[in-house]
Structure 1
């Protein structure tokens, strides 16, 4: 067959690719010939006929599988994917051609776009389109991102005939990874139990393993061996959890990873369809996750005291409102502590506000340590409030421990007033009683140490 004459008739970048038939693995893939548009797109000075495609662009196991499916199995393929190595999106079409005893051949056409094209993204098979639209509708109609994400992961797992579908959130700035959502078949160990056993360095290495590709796909043992060469620790954990196939997509915001979406032990006979489904869903899930992270950050900023890291007065007021409207909460035994650091104004006046800020930070750390597991709020200035659901004996033991740690002559001292409501009740009244007790304690302190009182 006149391959060169054939590609010259095509008005898009086009080449003919050959793949060597190999019973054990996907054989070597070469570019038999190409038209002028292909050579110009890829760099005429770098191209020559019958070259290994991997000498022109980075080798990609997913692309290898596509060529194999088309040239050897005779299955036409179309996909529109982000090609990170070329900093573009690529619309690819592969069409089967003839075979001989040693090689299979296919026509490969492509077109680059700098940014994702919505029309091309929508150009998928009808079943995939229906699933993607369904998942988008779930996100758009839900009031709670995590609830919606749970439904989406369930849909993806079932559609992929997978053992599990997982979405992991990644916060690089605080080195935290967490399972945002997962759907698993009955009888399998949840990822929430597996993830804590995987070192953080292994989790972050997944991004480097993806490299210039946009995903990691393992559908055969040969794929797993190839992945093992690049990331042995990851494959070690995969084999330990009896993973034999995975379709894995990272999610990015401004070139930084914010999470992963993947399915495990899926129907590998439907690889192309499942890859397309997971890829498109990850595209929309990324957008939703970015919005969720932003809203959560804004919520944290509105409820956290930026200096000390404990909850702020706004969060305390919201908590009090919850007690007022929630009958079950208001009838739960609880304790309240009002704490006022002694001498903050004196420190500010003598040593400056930086020293005063450090005093507040150190005081908050002591309070948080003593009342570990309880709710600690900075009510304002040098005042802190604690709401505790410990039993009465444990509650007062904590109050005494606080007095030991923050009594004269310790570097940081405080006045404290407490009240325990054994059957619950009006928290506003309990806070008022604790506040009054705190002021009495402060008066006693300055009577005993008048030299420490600010003038």
Structure 2
């Protein structure tokens, strides 16, 4: 067949691809046989509105890796179309390009162990929501079900548990996980996990360990600029073994026979990954199509949840010291007033007020005063570990100690006073209240406050030269 004449009759960017098959049923080289003028121009003439290839020279019948890096999803589509004679279509945003690709592939003939198909693409800088929603009825139903659950969620964790269970069932997988990554702290954590009752795969609680975050950093390079990684046959596993041998060994050790891995993104930030292990490989195309859309919405929801938590954090933290602020303290006290008696049992209250802040502000300036407050907060955090520390305002702090005893409170107060000599200019007047069963939180607060002021008065009697 005259493929050049055939492809020249197509207006949009189109090339002819050949896929070599081997006697063992696997495939070998994938080549770009020829292309129409629009396709060749996209390679040989730089255009800011089109992706840049690895070379600016088109050579007929070259390996596709001459133009872009190895992409296992691309290879799978070529094999399905050219060899299995399945027409293929996808709308995708590969990570290696800042473009969306609307891809169409049509099977052509075969000559011995070479099999051919067309590859046509329409490229755009921005996502087309109509194309994203142009999926099969069953895929649209699965994605819509996920969206409804996410948007109607009142309990985020419970909803994510449901979503990951639905995704595992869709994939008919033994295990499915959403892993969140924290690049700032270089850690990762499992948000949710679903396993079937016959799974022999280890739980994520047993897999997450020191160094696992470093392993996740290698996944971006392994995905290789595509939007996901799917390993289901010998070619795929050979690629992973060569690209990421450490991860390959871990997967083999843990009896992973197939895996589909998608990054979870919001804007340009990678939030984590979602994957399914030992899934139904006969359903790979639908699984990929469904997860491409589902991860888009899951990533957005996780990003929104992180933003809400960040805003909650900022609204509850004193920016100077890093301890809880007065607003959070008032909310906590109001909650204790409304709570039952059980939460008031074994509750201790400590007020701590810095001595000499006004003198430092007057003599050394407010920058020195702020440093004194920060050092005071650091001292309290080092002593009252695990307790709730609030900056009530100015130089005053309040600490709540749950399930404690009077002896423990006194011990911590004495420790704070002893340690203060190691902190420049830090000295606290402190008062506390403890009753095994606090009946009146307001009265307890007043008692701790009065004792604190008695301690401050004693301090200035002992050090009249430091009196404000």
TM-score tier, shorter chain, comes to over 0.9
- Contact between 2:341 and 2:439, CA under 8 Å: does it hold in 1? no
Q: Answer yes or no: is 1:295 the counterpart of 2:296.
A: no
Counterpart mapping for 1:9-20 below 5 A: 9-20=9-20
After superposition, the Cα gap between the structure-2 partners of 1:364 and 1:233, relative to the gap in structure 1 and judged at 3 Å, is farther
Aligned to 1:373: 386
Distance in 2 of aligned mates of 1:243 and 1:428? 59
Aligned to 1:36: 37
After superposition, the Cα gap between the structure-2 partners of 1:287 and 1:386, relative to the gap in structure 1 and judged at 3 Å, is same
RMSD, aligned CA: 2.2
Q: Cα distance, 1:329 vs. partner?
A: 4.9
Aligned to 2:436: 422
Q: How many residues align?
A: 454
Aligned to 1:353: 366
Aligned to 1:339: 352
Aligned to 1:160: 171
Aligned to 1:267: 280
Q: TM-score, normalised by structure 2?
A: 0.90
- Contact between 1:370 and 1:402, CA under 8 Å: does it hold in 2? yes
Q: Which moved more, 1:61-70 or 1:99-108?
A: 99-108
After superposition, the Cα gap between the structure-2 partners of 1:407 and 1:32, relative to the gap in structure 1 and judged at 3 Å, is closer
- Contact between 1:406 and 1:412, CA under 8 Å: does it hold in 2? yes
Q: Cα distance, 1:408 vs. partner?
A: 9.4
Q: Deviations over 1:213-238 (max 9, x none)?
A: 22222223442332233333333443
Aligned to 1:65: 76
1:201 pairs with one of 201, 214, 227: 214
- Contact between 1:323 and 1:329, CA under 8 Å: does it hold in 2? no
Q: Answer yes or no: is 1:78 the counterpart of 2:89.
A: yes
Aligned to 1:452: 466
- Contact between 2:181 and 2:213, CA under 8 Å: does it hold in 1? no
Matched position secondary structure for 1:333: strand
Q: Which moved more, 1:335-344 or 1:393-402?
A: 393-402
User: Which structure 2 residue ranges, 5 or more long, are not aligned?
Assistant: 46-55
- Contact between 1:21 and 1:27, CA under 8 Å: does it hold in 2? yes
Distance in 1 of aligned mates of 2:333 and 2:2? 81
After superposition, the Cα gap between the structure-2 partners of 1:130 and 1:54, relative to the gap in structure 1 and judged at 3 Å, is same
After superposition, the Cα gap between the structure-2 partners of 1:97 and 1:409, relative to the gap in structure 1 and judged at 3 Å, is closer
Q: Answer yes or no: is 1:50 the counterpart of 2:51.
A: no
Q: Cα distance, 1:241 vs. partner?
A: 3.2
Q: Deviations over 1:198-221 (max 9, x none)?
A: 343222333343342222222234
Aligned to 1:119: 130
Q: Cα distance, 1:304 vs. partner?
A: 0.6
- Contact between 1:337 and 1:416, CA under 8 Å: does it hold in 2? yes
Counterpart mapping for 1:387-402 below 5 A: 387-392=400-405, 393-402=407-416
- Contact between 2:230 and 2:259, CA under 8 Å: does it hold in 1? yes
Q: Cα distance, 1:8 vs. partner?
A: 2.4
Distance in 2 of aligned mates of 1:178 and 1:427? 38
After superposition, the Cα gap between the structure-2 partners of 1:304 and 1:89, relative to the gap in structure 1 and judged at 3 Å, is same
Q: Cα distance, 1:410 vs. partner?
A: 7.0
User: Which structure 1 residue ranges, 5 or more long, are not aligned?
Assistant: none
After superposition, the Cα gap between the structure-2 partners of 1:330 and 1:223, relative to the gap in structure 1 and judged at 3 Å, is same
